[in-house]
Amino acid sequence: MLSVKEIYVSLQGETSRAGLPCTFVRLAACDLRCSWCDSEYSFAGGDPRTIDEITAEVKALGVRLVTVTGGEPLLQAETRPLISRLCDEGCTVLLETSGAHPIKGIDYRAVIVLDLKAPSSGEMDRNHYENLEHLKATDEVKIVIASEEDYAWAVHTLKTYRLETRAGVLFTWASPPPPGSVELKAMPPAHHRISMRELADRLLADRLPVRFLPQVHKVVWGDVATGK
């Protein structure tokens, strides 16, 4: 049984598949509190559903690109068999994970989208760097960038681990958090926000081998990413 917050169809917003119609399976609960998180509503609640029920609902929605996200999907033991089942059913499966939990052994057919948390998230200490050894060329590493300090860290991390030789690399601009967030970590007050345009200009000037992304769903629908 898995605790499911919502299953819905929207545009993929934060990977190399950005802009494609996609079914999202959003699982409940997260053990991080990133300063710019747009999914606070997934921290609590969730309905119990079996893998059979989730698979049937995904198939009924008719979009075979599927993102398993959260919250943090890897907090639930049945997430791994769910991914395998969706792959068996012919779905292209993306797993979005915070990077704080081991990815070793996840079905090789799935695309792992692994976050590395930059300093302005407030959760940098949770990065599980051993995960980098388990990436495939078809996987993606995503760094969400909110500040000048994040950008400097991301460039350093890119070069230190030669991330582009391990997987695709995404630099995603972080929208400010929705107003009224009470549970999230605070962005360090000494950090300097970077605008979307500044981020694009910087990575072009620095000739970085990364893909720039805004959060596409937010460009279209605004701050809160949800199927409701």
User: Is 55 or 99 the residue whose CB approaches ligand SF4 more closely?
Assistant: 99
Q: Which is nearer to ligand SF4, 39 or 84 (CB)?
A: 39
**Which is closer to ligand SF4, CB of 33 or CB of 211?**
33
- The whole-angstrom separation of Cα 176 and Cα 145 is 11
CB of 93 to ligand SF4, least distance (A): 18
Query: Quick one: 72 or 140, whose CB is closer to ligand SF4?
Result: 72
Minimum Å gap between C-beta 123 and ligand SF4 is: 6
9, 19, 39, 53: which one contacts ligand SF4 (CB under 6 A)?
A: 39
Q: Is 140 in the site for ligand SF4 (CB under 6 A)?
A: no
Contact 102, 132 (CB under 8 A): no
Spatial contact of 113 and 97, defined as CB atoms under 8 Å apart: yes
User: Considering beta carbons, is residue 55 or 175 the nearer one to ligand SF4?
Assistant: 175
Minimum CB separation of residue 49 from ligand SF4 in Å reads 19
Least spacing, CB of residue 165 vs ligand SF4, in Å: 25
Contacts of 186 (CB under 8 A, 6+ apart): 35, 122
Write out the binding residues for ligand SF4, residues 55-114 only, by CB under 6 A: 70-72, 98
Q: Note every long-range contact of 190-198, with CB atoms under 8 Å and residues 24 or more positions apart, other chains counting.
A: 191/119, 191/120, 191/146, 191/147, 191/148, 191/149, 191/150, 192/147, 192/148, 192/149, 193/146, 193/147, 193/148, 194/145, 194/146, 194/147, 194/148, 194/150, 194/151
Interaction between residue 34 and ligand SF4 (CB under 6 A): yes
Query: Under a CB-based contact definition with an 8 Å cutoff, are residues 9 and 21 in contact?
Result: yes
Is 33 among the residues that bind ligand SF4 (CB under 6 A)? yes
CA-to-CA distance for 37 and 172, rounded, in angstroms?
13
Q: Which residues bind ligand SF4 (CB under 6 A)?
A: 30, 32-34, 37, 39, 70-72, 98
